[in-house]
């Protein structure tokens, strides 16, 4: 049930050891988690829920795989029913749904292209039909298309990156908000690249900076309504986004330039999402949690 448990032990017990991955590349984006070698580790088997999200309903975009899958499984362990939204990775989504159901919670898996605002409205319609309420929105989906120069970022790529990574966060938020009560919350996935920059990811990093400003502004705007808005800024994490965007050789040293000299695994992000989704963070809004292997960011 837990892929490569010994690998998990290696990550957690010998954190100073660099983790080296086999060279690999996937031609399509979003990438497919089930094709990755080794499989990412979505779940910490030692994580025990304590009902922090009992009775809640969460929508997680990009919840089929990677960081979104890890958050979805942890939310289920904390007692939430979860809606996962994804583009076309049906097999990855099926795994996540099955695991959530094994944990005794319900999962609705919805395939759709969030670049269209109509899809956000459809996600909300189906969530309300299935569960009758929405308490937590995790805007987490995203794409990245590395280029060596800004001159190689085509107008079509620029449009696609912004429409996917930030416009769709507006679309999802606008669709969900009318149905959120006091005590609800929104969590956005940004990136360490918003703080450090990345010479190969100029358009992507710009969308991630936009997500930070979006998080802060939305939190101010929703404070009176009792809705908290926060973000998580991951460093390099072993997810399908990586082999689907970087050249095969780059993968072999992926994440080794962090102070901890290794990439993170998706399960290491999950507690940050649980914290921001639960009342444990009841006095926290407009903030960004950095889960990045020790990289120091300015805020």
* Contact positions vs ligand NAD (CB under 6 A): 30-31, 61-62, 64-68, 85-87, 89, 113-115, 140-143, 164, 189, 191, 234, 236-237, 239-242
Q: Look at residue 239 and give the partner it binds from Mg ion, ligand NAD, none, a contact being a CB closer than 5 to 8 Å depending on partner kind.
A: ligand NAD
Contact 240, 30 (CB under 8 A): yes
3-state helix, strand and coil shares in percent for the chain, rounded to the nearest 5: 40, 15, 45
Pairing of strands 228-234, 185-189: parallel
Minimum Å gap between C-beta 16 and ligand NAD is 20
Q: Residue 277 and residue 71: Cα distance in Å, rounded?
A: 10
Residue with nearest beta carbon to ligand NAD: 66
Residue 243 or 290 with smaller CB distance to Mg ion: 243
Residue 131 or 267 with smaller CB distance to ligand NAD: 267
Binding site for Mg ion (CB under 5 A): 30, 64-65, 89
Contact 117, 175 (CB under 8 A): yes
Query: In the beta sheet, which residues pair with residue 108?
Result: 83
Minimum Å gap between C-beta 237 and ligand NAD is 4
Q: Look at residue 191 and give the partner it binds from Mg ion, ligand NAD, none, a contact being a CB closer than 5 to 8 Å depending on partner kind.
A: ligand NAD
Contact 127, 134 (CB under 8 A): yes
Residue 239 or 285 with smaller CB distance to Mg ion: 239
- The 8 Å CB, 24+ separation contacts for 99-105 are 99/42, 99/43, 99/73, 100/72, 100/73, 100/76, 103/73, 103/76, 103/77, 104/76, 105/76, 105/79, 105/80, 105/81
Distances (CA, A) of 212 to 28, 160, 187, 188, 290: 27, 19, 11, 8, 12
Q: Look at residue 40 and give the partner it binds from ligand NAD, Mg ion, none, a contact being a CB closer than 5 to 8 Å depending on partner kind.
A: none
Query: In the beta sheet, which residues pair with residue 193?
Result: none
Minimum Å gap between C-beta 103 and ligand NAD is 20
Minimum Å gap between C-beta 235 and ligand NAD is 6
Residue with nearest beta carbon to Mg ion: 65
Minimum Å gap between C-beta 269 and ligand NAD is 8
Number of Cβ within 10 Å of residue 280's Cβ equals: 11
Residue 61 or 173 with smaller CB distance to ligand NAD: 61
Residue 53 or 143 with smaller CB distance to ligand NAD: 143
Active site residues: 204
Q: Look at residue 278 and give the partner it binds from ligand NAD, Mg ion, none, a contact being a CB closer than 5 to 8 Å depending on partner kind.
A: none
Helix (H) or strand (E) holding 229: strand 228-234
Q: Look at residue 201 and give the partner it binds from Mg ion, ligand NAD, none, a contact being a CB closer than 5 to 8 Å depending on partner kind.
A: none
């Amino acid at each position: 049930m837990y892929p490569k448990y010994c690998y998990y032990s290696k990550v957690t017990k010998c954190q100073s050891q660099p983790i080296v991955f086999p060279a690999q590349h996937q031609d399509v984006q979003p990438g497919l988690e089930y094709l990755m070698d080794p499989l990412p580790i979505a779940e910490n088997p030692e994580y025990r829920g304590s009902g922090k999200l009992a009775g809640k309903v969460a929508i997680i975009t990009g919840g089929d795989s990677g960081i979104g899958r890890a958050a979805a499984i942890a939310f289920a362990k904390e007692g939430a029913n979860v809606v996962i939204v994804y583009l076309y990775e049906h097999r990855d989504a099926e795994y996540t749904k099955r695991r959530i159901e094994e944990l005794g919670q319900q999962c609705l898996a919805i395939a759709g292209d969030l670049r269209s605002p109509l899809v956000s409205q459809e996600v909300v319609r189906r969530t309300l039909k299935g569960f009758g309420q929405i308490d937590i929105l995790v805007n987490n989906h995203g794409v990245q298309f590395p280029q060596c120069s800004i001159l190689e970022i085509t107008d079509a790529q620029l449009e696609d990156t912004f429409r996917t990574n930030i416009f769709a966060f507006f679309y999802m938020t606008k669709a969900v908000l009318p149905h959120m009560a006091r005590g609800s919350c929104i969590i956005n996935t940004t990136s360490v690249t918003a703080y450090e920059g990345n010479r190969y990811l100029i358009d992507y990093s710009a969308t991630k900076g936009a997500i930070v400003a979006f998080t802060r502004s939305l939190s101010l705007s929703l404070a009176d309504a009792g809705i908290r808005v926060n973000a998580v800024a991951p460093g390099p994490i072993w997810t399908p986004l990586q082999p689907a965007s970087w050249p095969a050789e780059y993968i072999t040293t992926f994440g080794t330039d962090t102070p901890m000299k290794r990439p993170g695994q998706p399960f290491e992000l999950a507690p940050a999402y649980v914290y921001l989704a639960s009342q444990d963070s009841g006095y926290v809004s407009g903030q960004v949690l950095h889960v990045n292997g020790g990289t120091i960011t300015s805020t």
